[in-house]
């Protein structure tokens, strides 16, 4: 089975070019089918195409011109993703590391790289999570403020106490125009408030108004449902701490209905 992947960033591009896979590469309205490799030193894709009745030829395509790769989905990716979704990231780490090692030059939207970041976070290893994320971000700075990788990267920074760097990224994300990224940024603002100040009443109220409730009220699009649910559950936790159990349960009920 093949999966269509939007090319936004290359993962682990400092490694030697040994990866190759059969697939289709799309660039500027054209497509080429063959064995695809990536040459890291000059960010070029090399496609070996078999000509009808002739010998194969190799075509070079600049990574900047490539819009999509259609490639086979790596074995065990779905299983590892499901494990991470269930909070079993520790058990998924070796699977995901194997996928990343085998598919060294895949785009991070595979999204094995992002799942590996989340798995390390679930294993309470924020340092490894940050290192993996930064290898991805190195080739596309937008990945630090947009897309599915960004919230996991932000969590790693928060756990490592890199609040000043995180605040800069959250401000950029809120202004980026990407609704999911902006919504996630406001949730992280609530997390930062509680991480820095503890759970006194003033901090809980600030986390609610500046983070969690703001997210649940402002981001009503279908694409943000899961983020709204997260915001509502975190807001419910704050209401529990404040002694407002009825409001907490009401929010949890709304979150379950999304």
Domain ranges of the chain: 2-71, 171-258
As beta bridge partners, residue 5 has 69
Tokens encoding 188: 């992280």
- pLDDT for 11 equals 32
The whole-number mean pLDDT for each consecutive block of 10 residues of the chain, a chain of 258 residues, reads 32 39 83 82 83 82 83 85 95 90 55 91 96 84 88 95 93 88 94 92 96 94 94 96 95 93
What angle is formed at CA 49 by the lines to CA 47 and CA 50, rounded to 5 degrees?
Answer: 160
Counted residue by residue, the chain has a size of 258
The neighbour count for residue 211, using CB atoms within 10 Å, is 24
- pLDDT for 19 equals 54
- pLDDT for 233 equals 96
- pLDDT for 99 equals 83
Indicate the pTM of the whole model. Answer: 0.74
């Amino acid at each position: 089975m093949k999966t269509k992947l939007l090319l936004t960033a290359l993962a682990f591009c400092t490694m030697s070019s040994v990866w190759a896979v059969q697939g289709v590469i799309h660039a500027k309205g054209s497509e080429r089918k063959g064995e695809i490799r990536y040459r890291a030193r000059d960010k070029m894709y090399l496609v070996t195409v078999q000509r009808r009745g002739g010998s194969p030829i190799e075509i070079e395509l600049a990574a900047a011109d490539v819009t999509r790769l259609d490639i086979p989905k790596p074995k065990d990716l779905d299983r590892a993703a499901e494990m991470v979704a269930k909070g079993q990231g520790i058990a998924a780490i070796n699977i995901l590391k194997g996928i990343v090692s085998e598919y060294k030059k895949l785009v991070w939207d595979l999204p094995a790289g992002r799942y590996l970041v989340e798995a390390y976070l679930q294993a309470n290893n924020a340092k490894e999570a940050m290192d993996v994320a930064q290898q991805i971000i190195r080739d596309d700075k937008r990945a630090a403020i947009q897309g599915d990788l960004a919230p996991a990267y932000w969590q790693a920074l928060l756990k490592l106490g890199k609040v000043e760097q995180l605040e800069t990224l959250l401000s950029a994300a809120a202004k980026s125009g990407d609704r999911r990224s902006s919504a996630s940024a406001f949730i992280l603002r609530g997390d930062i408030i509680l991480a820095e100040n503890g759970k006194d009443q003033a901090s809980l109220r600030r986390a609610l108004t500046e983070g969690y409730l703001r997210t649940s009220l402002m981001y009503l699009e279908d694409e943000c449902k899961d983020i709204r649910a997260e915001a509502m559950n975190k807001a419910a936790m704050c209401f529990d701490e404040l002694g407002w159990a009825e409001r907490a349960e009401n929010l949890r009920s709304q979150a379950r209905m999304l």
